[in-house]
Amino acid sequence: MSERPHLLACQSPDSLARKVAEAVERLVGETDHDPVTIALAGGSTPKRLYETLAADPFRRRIPWERIELFFGDERSVPPDHSDSNYGMTKAALLDHVPVRAHPMPAAEGDDFGYERLVRERVAAGENGIPVFDLVLLGIGTDGHTASLFPGTAALRERERLVVMNDVPKLATRRMTFTFPLLEAARRIWVLVAGADKRDVVARCLDPQVDADFPVLRARPAAGELVWWVDEAALS
Ligand code: 6PG
């Protein structure tokens, strides 16, 4: 059973977004190498964070030219599709700040190509796996994170860093980071907001529950793991 994550409670989705934005600003300021590599989460929760980063004071204060953005997962749709994580992030953040970002070619199914890009652009650790300065993740009500859904093949992947993963419950394929790439990260921050996440959060945090949720396996081997959770998601 995985040890329970370190929690930072926030009053509301807005305060969660602001606190994480402040933490991102601090992280960039404390990082002594360039680029600062950040893998973004998809879904609806991080949208407020991206909008907060795209507005003053963060738009003005963060040195965007030092940052390189990646995506931890993507749906198999074109970038202009309403389900696209890249499309959501482009509207909320990328259109407003001068930052380099690498969309995932999920619609093309080019997981090998994205893994090559990550290996080229993100410095590797001693084990040869790229080390992201920060990986942002969310959590689904079923305990999935990125596109690592319960019962799917990608959960067992220990060699590849980026794969296409069949998700039968959604009748789709998605591109996703695998656990080896997540485990190499310096920091993983999981963003959780909303009453609909209350049950899964409670089960993740309850030492009496042997929860085998993928999100509980998303932890750095040697880095920092923080769950930023709003009050609505905390029972
Ligand atoms: C995605 C995300 C996924 C997300 C959870 C939570 O592509 O959907 O990577 O893992 O973080 O599904 O989504 P919400 O933030 O919309 O609840």
99: Cα separation from own chain's centroid:
17
Q: How many angstroms is it from 36 CA to the middle of ligand 1?
A: 23
Taking alpha carbons only, the member of 50, 43, 39, 157 closest to residue 104 is: 39
Q: How far apart are CA 22 and CA 35, in angstroms?
A: 19
pLDDT score recorded for residue 103 = 98
Which residue from 50, 147, 182, 191 has its CB within 8 A of the most atoms of ligand 1, so it is best to mutate? 147
Q: How far apart are CA 77 and CA 43, in angstroms?
A: 14
149: Cα separation from own chain's centroid:
14
Residue 145 near ligand 1, beta carbon < 6 Å: yes
**Nearest atom within ligand 1 for CA of residue 174:** 7
pLDDT score recorded for residue 224 = 95
DSSP state of 138: -
Tokens of 197: 């996440």
Cβ-contact 5, 233 below 8 angstroms: no
Residue whose pair of structure tokens reads 């970002």 in the numeric block: 101
pLDDT score recorded for residue 1 = 42
Name residues of the chain where pLDDT drops below 70. Answer: 1-3
Secondary structure of residue 117 in the 3-state scheme? helix
pTM of the prediction?
0.97
Residue 77 near ligand 1, beta carbon < 6 Å: no
pLDDT score recorded for residue 2 = 54
